[in-house]
Amino acid sequence: MSFLFGSRSSKTFKPKKNIPEGTHQYELMKHAAATLGSGNLRLAVMLPEGEDLNEWVAVNTVDFFNQINMLYGTITEFCTEESCPIMSAGPKYEYHWADGHTVKKPIKCSAPKYIDYLMTWVQDQLDDETLFPSKIGVPFPKNFLSIAKTILKRLFRVYAHIYHQHFSQVVQLGEEAHLNTSFKHFIFFVQEFSLIERREQAPLQELIDKLTAKEAR
């Protein structure tokens, strides 16, 4: 599989997922961007009055996928089969890949391979109109929130890997503030709607406590 990774460092890793203009979700995305601009992240993640929770979670999940994609894209040249032979978030946390369909039994793999599997898997779901409908009037599946929870739980692992294994490189690139703001936004969002269990957050619990303490309710 190594030929797949040869040209990765020169470009962002997956195409950006766009929400179609003219849709209600596009308006929601614009609302989210405007509220974020106010600088109050606690306020920015709250469900806008009268809006559908599934739709709000969908729009933000797409946004986090794009953000993480971009952040990981800045450090792909440092995240290699050699530097990161296992997908880890510090010495106590190692992740094995399984998607329940093509890979049923969890497999041990390098971080770049794991993240490639993960982001491809997320993208396939975001592109699936039966799971993430973008057309008005098309209902979300009944189990939508549990689908979103699994996606967000796995996207968290990419943040965890970046923080534990590549933070010094992020600092060298001058991306530290960008990473911290993105992660803080992500954490406030998943906390607001209880989308990731606390035990899943353990690899970054100290950082989470520090980032959220400053803006305690």
Residue ranges for the known binding site for Zn(2+) are 79, 84, 161, 166
pLDDT tens string 7-32: 333 344 566 678 877 778 888 888 77
**Measured between alpha carbons, how far is 138 from 100 in angstroms, rounded to an integer?**
26
159: nearest Cα among 211, 106, 81: 211
| 153 has pLDDT over 90 | yes
The residues, any chain, with a CB within 8 Å of residue 31's CB and separated by 6 or more, are 48
- Tokens 């990473």 belong to 179
What does each C-alpha distance from 169 to 63, 165, 173, 175 come to in angstroms?
24, 9, 6, 9
**Domain spans, the chain:** 42-213
**Measured between alpha carbons, how far is 159 from 138 in angstroms, rounded to an integer?**
32
| CATH architecture observed for domain 42-213 | Up-down Bundle (1.20)
Using a 10 angstrom Cβ sphere, with 0-12 exposed, 13-18 middle and 19 or more buried, the burial of residue 125 is: middle
pLDDT score of 14: 64
**E-only strand ranges, 78-141:** none
What tokens does 43 get? Answer: 């306020």
Residue ranges for the known binding site are 79, 84, 161, 166
**Measured between alpha carbons, how far is 124 from 196 in angstroms, rounded to an integer?**
21
pLDDT tens string 89-112: 999 999 999 877 777 788 899 999
